[in-house]
Chains A and B, each alone.
Chain A
Amino acid sequence: MGELYGNLAKGFAGVVTPAHLMAVFAGSFMGTVVGVLPGLGPSATIAILLPMTLTMGPTTGLIMLAGIFFGAQYGGSTTSILFRMPGEASSVITSIDGHEMAKKGRAGAALTASAIGSFLAANMGFIGLALFAVPLARYALRFGPPEYFALSFGGLLILANVSGGSRLRNLAMVGVGVMLGTVGTDPIAGALRLDFGVSFLAKGIDYTAVLIGLFGMAEIIAWAIAGDGGVPRMTAIRVRDLYPTREEWRRMVAPIFRGGVVGFLVGLLPGPGAITSTYVSYAMERGVSKRRDEFGRGAIEGVAGPESANNAAAVGQMVPLLALGLPFSGLTAMLLGAMMMQGITPGPLFIAQRPDVFWVLVASFFLGNLVLLVFNLPLVGLMAMVLRVPMTILMAIIALLCILGTFSLNSDFVDVWMMLVFGVIGFVMQQFHYEPPPLILGMVFGPIMERALVQSLLQFQGDLLAFWARPISAVILSAAIAVAVAAPLWAWRSRRAGRNVAGVVQG
């Protein structure tokens, strides 16, 4: 422990140089902007800034990029809560209860819960990183294709129902998402699939474009039709509406803590850690809460948990990168590239060989996190007041944001057209009571599941029993199947029991 303090102290000492401090602020600022704006994600920004980090010192550039990486997880909930328009997939879950809270006038409370939870959970993650980086990373290595398949398949089964509604419909939406995810190049041979000979489908369908369409554009269409009867407008914001009540503070604590732990662990594993962690946290909070029926109607646990989880997951993603030099996601791969450009090669010996870089980085994480909190808390007041802007102006601004944000994903107009199409689809789905979150889940996990399945089959020469021969995948698969089968059976039984007892069929 003493060693830890010593290292951290050295790290903090190293971080308080003018160059590094500027990098922390710049990175955090840009990260917050990136997070709030829909579509525009850290990957586009970091990719563009990569060559510029060359001219900064080795650690300075990294600090800035890390600031963007973490900052982006803070702001994402803003549009999600205020307008039910998640700007990226990791904010989809927050929109469920977050927007309900906004409708009840508790937007400020939701935003604050999000910011505080993000801050606390990230710190939890940093502590995990500082203490257990190497052993955790080594454990994460034990997850191979069969485990990823078990996780993604199990995840789809269990998490499909997370946003409520009919189980069958949700599963159907997951199916649609999975099918959409197969469009483009197949993960094995790279052959073109389901592209119907059209070049714009060859690169696949970007799920962020789909989600901006399903949530953002669909809402705009709904508003255009509903006239002013759409979303309730806030006329007066009282100061106490900006912050959570004592009761709400109390309710936040456990979900933040659970979200931090779950998020960190999920982030350790390969795959879209931030997104997955939000779904898992929400499912968990709904599972353990005594206020289960409030979920979907503005339960603050449904905001605090997922928002904490996605920040902790971002930290978790850093662990394999820094401890072993193995990036498990596209974003961390870019950070790896930035390091290599500077001649720093992260690998299993990185922490031991370059403590000057590692501990300064970790110190910058803590500092940046604090800066982010300081940026984001006042934003809460600002953002909550955004709700007072007349719909006429607001809708136009949001429409423009959707277009620009989607374009900035890949500098490709194809994505914008996709967003439009899915805007119409999203509106139709709304009319027929089909929920969007499971669709996004399917699109995100489908390709992962396919790749993992195919790699496992190749590796074991088609032996399906191999999934049960390995401890981790066996446990996960069995648990997932058990839950997936048990839950509807339970619901069916209680429905029958309810009918017998009540005697009168309702509806």
Chain B
Amino acid sequence: MRGSVLSSILLVCIGVFYLVCASRYDFGRLPDPKAGFFPTIAGIAFVLLSVSLLLVSVRSRGRGVPDAEREALTLRRLFPAILVLGGVVIHILVVETVGFLLASTALMMFLMWVRGARNWVVTTVMSAATSGVLYWLFWVVMRVPIPRGALWGG
């Protein structure tokens, strides 16, 4: 499989890192295990697992069925995803300030725009409606706290 060697090396590194962190905690003894006991054992097991994975993938390198339909993931192709993630990040940062309704409407409009929506009327209406429905469902029906926005003292 593609990238097997690379990914298993990564896993080994994660395992070793984890073990190093786990070793900083007191291991204790068998009748009196402490905070480091289980993580150390789990870490060792994981390192063994990922090393096995590495060995297997090295051995079968070049032998697997190639991934036919996969195109290269260039930055250009990843760009819409970056936009989406960026939009969500901004939403999280802003929502306590401007309130859920406004932030979510904005986010939805942005996401739809990223996907190519150009009919502003439909976009705005759908976004506002969805935000409103979700607000109603979560806060009014379920009484789950939703950030109302400090701007309005909410």
Binding site for B on A (CB under 8 A): 30, 33-34, 37, 40, 44-45, 48-49, 168-169, 171-172, 175-176, 178-179, 182, 186, 188-189, 191, 193-194, 220-221, 224-225, 227, 391-393, 395-397, 399-401, 403-404, 407-408, 411, 413, 416-417, 420, 423-424, 427, 431-434, 446, 449-450, 453-454, 457-458, 460-464, 507
Chain A residues lying within 8 Å of B114, measured Cβ to Cβ, are 224
Q: Which 10 A-B pairs have the closest CB atoms?
A: A462-B31, A462-B30, A175-B46, A396-B111, A450-B38, A461-B31, A392-B115, A224-B80, A186-B35, A224-B81
B151 at the interface (CB under 8 A from A): no
Task: Name the one of B18, B31, B78 contacting A225, with C-beta atoms under 8 angstroms.
Answer: B78
Chain A residues lying within 8 Å of B104, measured Cβ to Cβ, are 400, 404
B150 at the interface (CB under 8 A from A): no
B13 at the interface (CB under 8 A from A): no
Instruction: Known A194-B21, A392-B115, A458-B33; judge A404-B42 contact (CB<8 A).
Output: no
Chain B residues lying within 8 Å of A427, measured Cβ to Cβ, are 81
Minimum distance in angstroms from B31 CB to a CB of chain A: 3
B43 at the interface (CB under 8 A from A): yes
Chain B residues with a Cβ closer than 8 Å to the other chain, count:
72
Pick 18 A–B contacts, CB within 8 A, sort by A.
A37-B137, A172-B8, A175-B45, A186-B35, A193-B25, A391-B115, A393-B126, A396-B130, A399-B88, A399-B107, A400-B131, A404-B138, A432-B4, A453-B38, A454-B33, A454-B38, A458-B33, A462-B32
User: In the complex, which residue of chain B has the Cβ closest to the Cβ of A175?
Assistant: B46
Minimum distance in angstroms from B7 CB to a CB of chain A: 5
Chain B residues lying within 8 Å of A49, measured Cβ to Cβ, are 143
Give bound CA distance, A461 to B31, whole Å: 4
A395 touches B111 (CB 8 A): yes
B84 touches A221 (CB 8 A): yes
B interface, over-half SS? helix
Give bound CA distance, A237 to B37, whole Å: 56
Task: Name the one of B39, B45, B112 contacting A392, with C-beta atoms under 8 angstroms.
Answer: B112
**0/1 string, B1-41, CB within 8 A of A gives 1:** 11110111001001100100110010001111111011100
Taking CB atoms and an 8 Å cut-off, the chain B residues in 52-93 that contact chain A are 52-53, 56, 63-65, 73, 77-78, 80-81, 83-85, 88-89, 91-92
Binding site for A on B (CB under 8 A): 1-4, 6-8, 11, 14-15, 18, 21-22, 25, 29-35, 37-39, 42-43, 45-46, 49-50, 52-53, 56, 63-65, 73, 77-78, 80-81, 83-85, 88-89, 91-92, 96, 100, 104, 107-108, 111-112, 114-117, 126-127, 130-131, 134, 137-138, 141-146
Give bound CA distance, A433 to B66, whole Å: 13
Instruction: Known A179-B42, A457-B31; judge A220-B84 contact (CB<8 A).
Output: yes
Give bound CA distance, A434 to B8, whole Å: 11
Minimum distance in angstroms from A496 CB to a CB of chain B: 15
Give bound CA distance, A424 to B89, whole Å: 13
Minimum distance in angstroms from A150 CB to a CB of chain B: 16
User: In the complex, which residue of chain B has the Cβ closest to the Cβ of A172?
Assistant: B49
B112 touches A171 (CB 8 A): no
User: In the complex, which residue of chain A has the Cβ closest to the Cβ of B19?
Assistant: A179
